[in-house]
Amino acid sequence: MDLPASSSPHVRYVIDGAGLDGAVLDLVLDRPERKNALSVAMYTALAEGLAWASATPEIRVVRFRGAGGTFTSGNDLQDFLQNIPGEDGGPVGAFLRALVAFDKPLLALVEGHAVGIGTTLLLHCDLVVAATDAKFRLPFVSLGLVPEAGSSLLLPALCGHRQAAALLMLAEPFDAATAQRCGIVNEVLPAEQAAARLDAMATTLAGHPPGALQATRRLMKAGQAAALAAAMQDEGAEFLARLQSPEAMEAFMAFFSRKGR
């Protein structure tokens, strides 16, 4: 099995052969100097990694991880604004479509910050383990934007309208215990135990008959597939409209002003 080269130096593909009968692919966000903020090039590399894993029978499980003790601080806003996506969403949209279409178990380990897409991508994962000190935030409204990745549908389905409104509309940080209570993560453990627990989960999944596992996953997701596609289409159109609004421009200027202090 030849591992392809990543198209971004900030996304590493790592094979873990710990599975009993199959391998696990780690997609590692590796830009610790920027708290693993996601650039357009990183989105492309993530989508390409998912496509390769889907087409490679030996890969049974994919895990998202972040280097340097943090998951991701979300979009690199400067890079994002220099590469505003078109109607198809550009590389961001390609990654989100690949995420939704992926047909094998998706796992994630959350350490440190999980901001924006760092939280919404977890809603598409099957199993998520968070370190006790993990911090989450869905800041879209505070930036003059709207939620993405189907989170306007998936989050209320997980935790109810009021709790989802608190996370999406107040846009305040929340801790790992809240993320677990909302169903965003399965387990919360001290950092030194969280990675080991995710390894154990991946090993168990990789040892199961892959056809039965993938069919089970497909059946679990089938009921929401049409609604999720519609929600993501609506979110994408609204997101692009909001991105060009005076509200968003004002929010971005305030963000960069605070960052520059």
| pLDDT number for residue 260 | 61
The answer to whether residue 134 sits within a structural domain is: yes
Output the CA angle 150-86-91, nearest 5 degrees. Answer: 65
Could you give the CA distance from residue 79 to residue 22 in angstroms, rounded to a whole number? 37
Beta bridge partners of 110: 130
The runs of H, that is alpha helices, within the chain are 40-55, 77-82, 90-101, 117-120, 151-159, 161-169, 176-181, 191-207, 210-222, 225-243, 246-259
User: How many domains does the chain divide into?
Assistant: 1
Residue 225 domain-assigned (yes or no)? yes
Q: Write down the pTM of the prediction.
A: 0.95
Q: Is 202 among the domain residues?
A: no
If phi over 0 gives left and psi between -120 and 50 gives alpha, with beta otherwise, what is residue 150?
A: left
Is residue 47 in some structural domain?
yes
Which residue segment(s) compose the domain that 44 sits in?
A: 11-192+210-259
pLDDT one digit per residue (tens) for the chain, 261 residues: 789 999 999 999 999 875 545 799 999 999 999 999 999 999 999 999 999 999 999 999 999 999 999 999 999 988 988 888 777 889 999 999 999 999 999 999 999 999 999 999 999 999 999 999 999 999 999 999 999 999 999 999 999 999 999 999 999 999 999 999 999 999 999 999 999 999 999 999 999 999 999 999 999 999 999 999 999 999 999 999 999 899 999 998 998 888 765
pLDDT tens-digit series, residues 151-173: 999 999 999 999 999 999 999 99
Residue 249 counted as domain residue? yes
Judge whether 231 lies within some domain.
yes
What is the CA 70 to chain-centroid distance, rounded?
Answer: 13
User: In this structure, is residue 110 part of a structural domain?
Assistant: yes
Which domain CATH number covers 105?
3.90.226.10
